[in-house]
Structure 1
Amino acid sequence: MSTHDLTSENPQGTGDAGEIEELRARLEELLPTAVEDLKSLVRIPSIAFEGYDPAPVRRSAEAVAELLRGAGMAEVGIESVAGGSPAVIGRSPAAPGRPTVLLYAHHDVQPTGETSHWTSPPFEPVEREGRLYGRGAADDKAGVMAHVTALRLVGEELAADGIGVTVFVEGEEEAGSPTFRPFIEAHREALAADLIIVADSANWAVGTPALTTSLRGLVDLVIEVRALDHAVHSGLFGGPVLDALTQLSRLLATLHDERGEVAVEGLVRAPDPTVRMEEADYRRDAGVPQDLELSGSGPLAAQLWTRPALSVIGIDAPSVREASNTLVPVARAKVSLRIPPGESPESAMVALVSHLERHTPATAQVTIHRGEQGRPYSARQTSPAMDLARQAFARAWGTPAVDTGLGGSIPFIADLLEVFPEAEVLVTGVEDPESRAHGIDESLHLGEFARVCLAEALLLRGAGTLGGLRA
């Protein structure tokens, strides 16, 4: 048996079981090359954040473009708008009257954090116990390679059937997609599609696929608290004035109640999901020790998908190592608020800012710098494309897909739906709960990667049965 273990039962669905087995066999032959190509992408430190060298991002785009050319794309180009990071567009146009599928992924990655905390260097991919470790190995260079591998598998069949395929690989998703909207508007004609597959989400568990049917949106801001014009001796002046870090801490503490529930008034809660998440699974996947209580109340899936969640994700203040006996004059914190479907980011921002203003102490100056806003997403539960995706996933994994929410945010999906209102969007993924995307020791389960490639190939193969969704 292959180390990627592609064996599974074939549930009832479109296609012939013999054809599926033939496709599995061809995929087995392609996987070693696909994994090596993925390793080459991981070696490129394509961090698109401000302050990082942009050259690796360009190099990453060029590598992706070369992969798409090798996969048979008829037209491949590297584009950018408004000074944004380079994105790659590959196109094989549809025959008249036939549908076009747009495949999305991104080639930029998160910063690594402290590299000494990694078991192996983040940009030197390493295989360990069936997983590939490295920054971007899962999020989202595996998504890029899933598209490439699916095209290597069935690209010629799609061309013969007249099905059009466009591959759009963004270069600044992790940095908040600052030029995404102007980019897709500038390239509206090239990116127009009947079906859009976004490969940037996660599966339910190793061995169980998922279709992401809802995503939380995002609101963030920076709180700046100033207590003094300049630092002063804590012994000589401490007492009548509270330092800025203490006052910032007191303000941040108002954001949650004693149970850990978000205490900001006016935020929306969506209905609880029907999917049950086991506490033991959550603790394992999130790394929560057994002797610690969980915060909040209600079903875990609801807390993760359909209720607001608020976190302090960064603080500017003197480090413990460099602290001196002075009163800190100014301190800052970045706050991230995840909002469920049914909430608008504009309303959530107003509610959060209003809460902070109401709790601003008279002993400090508080300035709020509003940041990113991203809309939540809720998909149609039933449609021909969703049914086709469920069949493809069931065949690839040998078990039905779970319709799942995701606590994370993909704000650009709202832009896709607004610019291409006639298209249907499917959100799929290459990650699993142990992938640690954005974290230390990010990794990809290679067996799951193989199944993702197979499922996408089956989905593309069946896209011709959908007809022209825009017709």
Structure 2
Amino acid sequence: MTTEKLRRAVRDLMPRARQDLAELVAMRSVADERAFPPEECEAAAQWVLGAFRDEGFADIEAIETDDGSAAVIGRRPGPQGAPTVLLYCHYDVQPPGDEELWGSPPFTLTERDGRWYGRGAADCKGNLVMHLTALRALDALELDTSVNVTIVAEGSEETGAGGLEHLVRARPELFAADVVLVADTGNTEVGRPTITTSLRGMANVVVHVTALAGEVHSGVFGGPAPDAVAALVHILATLHDTEGNTTVNGLAREQFWGGVEYDEKRFRADAGVLDGVELIGTGSVADRVWARPAVTIVGIDCPPVVGSAAAISPSASARLNLRVPPGTDPIRAQELLTAHLEAAAPWGVCVKVVPEATGSPFSASTTGPGFAALTSALGQAYGAEVGFAGQGGSIPLCSALAEQFPDAEIALIGVEEPLCRIHAPDESVDPNEIEALAVAEALFLGTYGA
């Protein structure tokens, strides 16, 4: 098998990849029945099932998980006695948010300046299409995979509801593999092949502050009457020191990253940091984004500016997202965050902290034959040295698989480089990343275990 033949085969398939992605993006597969019809997710699951069945996955089905979503799981047999490679992706997406902030309709795949825009174009429908394109390239050249292939396409990854992780524990035989390729991360920059080896876990909470029996006039009672919004602001301000480091009492925050560095200038550009605004925290950028805890205020409930009255708020709430690095127990971190919030409450205000979802951090081994073969395939496909990076986000499935199959090699790859703006308005994917990664995956599936 030659890389150039696969490269040509994948390039010939890119118009089909674009059409597939357009069909998938058009499905508003947000796993939240409160805002989006469940039929959209059901349609996406059936599309995925049909597409992979057409690629030789005869033993494939949509299995309902205990969170109500459907996981599409199937198997394409390889040579007798061959190792098994599991390919993961998810077909659910984040809500589009304020559609006025998009340069084109979020559920219509639109090409602008060489990139394809749309919700899920990168996260994670672009990765799903990449898997399909890799398999189709092998078929176009009449080449068999050298491995058994299992496909797992999840339907509720973005909600963190845990349905697939529970299914892993309930029916492990569906997921047994020698190598797992989790396609839900990406390169540190376009054209720079990267394997993600570390994921931060997460621990979410909602903090409610109550100070008064009801709203009262700020002119009549302002001064001695405690303001719940001010109390909440006071509590939240204790979560960072003056340099911006996360400061949850009892939570370690001086860890270091030992892999590739993240250039500060590139980080500023990737994150859209405005000129003159400083990055927060100390240590290298890689330390801060991949190896240390980070707490983010993701939502606040209080009176909006428009329509607000001259009144003292009796209550206020905030939702917090705490990311924790490998080596930190997310449940313990959640307990420490809860205790910190309760201890920081001023003026005797009532504080109630409600725990939400947690997800375990993950650290991969990079010494097995699967990693060696994948590294070689990526290097050939991209014509560049492969880097190893961390990821600030969480993929709970990785920890569930590592727990269930301790000998399996788990590698994280994907099309989601920083310019993709996943989870944000104007999410996009560079089609060159789909193309190059499909070449690499086809190389891997055609040669590993041969």
CA distance in 1, matches of 2:79, 2:439: 24
Q: Counterpart of 1:342 in 2: which secondary structure?
A: coil
Q: Name the residue aligned to 2:4.
A: 21
CA distance in 1, matches of 2:316, 2:122: 35
Q: Is the 8 A contact 1:283 1:290 kept in 2?
A: no
CA distance in 2, matches of 1:77, 1:326: 56
Q: Is the 8 A contact 1:213 1:403 kept in 2?
A: yes
| Structural mapping, 1:306-321, within 5 Å | 306-321=291-306
1:350 CA drift (Å): 2.0
Could you list the per-position Cα deviations for residues 328-380 of structure 1 after superposition, in whole angstroms to 9, with x for gaps in the alignment?
A: 11111011111111111122112211211221223310000011111111111
Correspondence 1:270 to 2:255 = yes
CA distance in 1, matches of 2:204, 2:222: 32
Q: Counterpart of 2:197 in 1: which secondary structure?
A: strand
Could you list the per-position Cα deviations for residues 138-160 of structure 1 after superposition, in whole angstroms to 9, with x for gaps in the alignment?
A: 00001111111111122588985
| Structural mapping, 1:59-458, within 5 Å | 59-155=43-139, 160=144, 163-268=147-252, 269-458=254-443
Q: Name the residue aligned to 2:16.
A: 33
Q: Mean Cα displacement is larger for which, 152-161 or 306-315?
A: 152-161
Q: Do the aligned partners of residues 34 and 156 (structure 1) sit closer, same or farther apart at CA in structure 2, a change above 3 Å counting? A: closer
CA distance in 1, matches of 2:291, 2:392: 8
Q: Is the 8 A contact 1:130 1:447 kept in 2?
A: no
Q: Name the residue aligned to 1:12.
A: none
Q: Do the aligned partners of residues 421 and 94 (structure 1) sit closer, same or farther apart at CA in structure 2, a change above 3 Å counting? A: farther
Q: TM-score, normalised by structure 1?
A: 0.92
Q: Is the 8 A contact 2:85 2:181 kept in 1?
A: yes
CA distance in 2, matches of 1:257, 1:246: 18
1:427 CA drift (Å): 0.7
Could you list the per-position Cα deviations for residues 133-189 of structure 1 after superposition, in whole angstroms to 9, with x for gaps in the alignment?
A: 000000000111111111112258898566211100000000004212222234322
Could you list the per-position Cα deviations for residues 365-416 of structure 1 after superposition, in whole angstroms to 9, with x for gaps in the alignment?
A: 0000011111111111322111111111111110011111111111221011
Q: Counterpart of 1:201 in 2: which secondary structure?
A: coil
Q: Counterpart of 1:425 in 2: which secondary structure?
A: strand
Letter in 2 for 1:356: L
CA distance in 2, matches of 1:149, 1:348: 41
CA distance in 2, matches of 1:26, 1:328: 63
CA distance in 1, matches of 2:94, 2:351: 30
Q: Counterpart of 1:434 in 2: which secondary structure?
A: helix
Could you list the per-position Cα deviations for residues 50-74 of structure 1 after superposition, in whole angstroms to 9, with x for gaps in the alignment?
A: 5132110111101111111222212
Q: Percent identity?
A: 42
Q: Is the 8 A contact 1:270 1:342 kept in 2?
A: no
Q: Counterpart of 1:333 in 2: which secondary structure?
A: strand
1:95 CA drift (Å): 4.2
Q: Counterpart of 2:62 in 1: which secondary structure?
A: strand
Q: Counterpart of 1:324 in 2: which secondary structure?
A: coil
CA distance in 1, matches of 2:28, 2:51: 18
1:51 to 19, 34, 42: 34
Q: Name the residue aligned to 1:8.
A: none
Q: Is the 8 A contact 2:296 2:320 kept in 1?
A: yes
1:240 CA drift (Å): 1.3
CA distance in 1, matches of 2:142, 2:172: 22
CA distance in 2, matches of 1:142, 1:307: 29
Q: Counterpart of 1:367 in 2: which secondary structure?
A: strand
1:417 CA drift (Å): 1.1
Q: Mean Cα displacement is larger for which, 94-103 or 421-430?
A: 94-103
Letter in 2 for 1:383: G
CA distance in 2, matches of 1:161, 1:253: 55
Letter in 2 for 1:86: A
Calculate the aligned-residue CA RMSD, in Å: 1.7
1:42 to 25, 31, 35: 25
Q: Mean Cα displacement is larger for which, 357-366 or 395-404?
A: 357-366
CA distance in 1, matches of 2:111, 2:170: 40
1:192 CA drift (Å): 1.4
Q: Is the 8 A contact 2:146 2:448 kept in 1?
A: no
How many residues matched? 448
- Unpaired segments ≥5 residues, structure 1: 1-15, 466-471
1:243 CA drift (Å): 1.6
CA distance in 2, matches of 1:107, 1:432: 18
Q: TM-score, normalised by structure 2?
A: 0.96
- Unpaired segments ≥5 residues, structure 2: none
Q: Is the 8 A contact 1:389 1:459 kept in 2?
A: yes
Q: Is the 8 A contact 2:9 2:140 kept in 1?
A: no
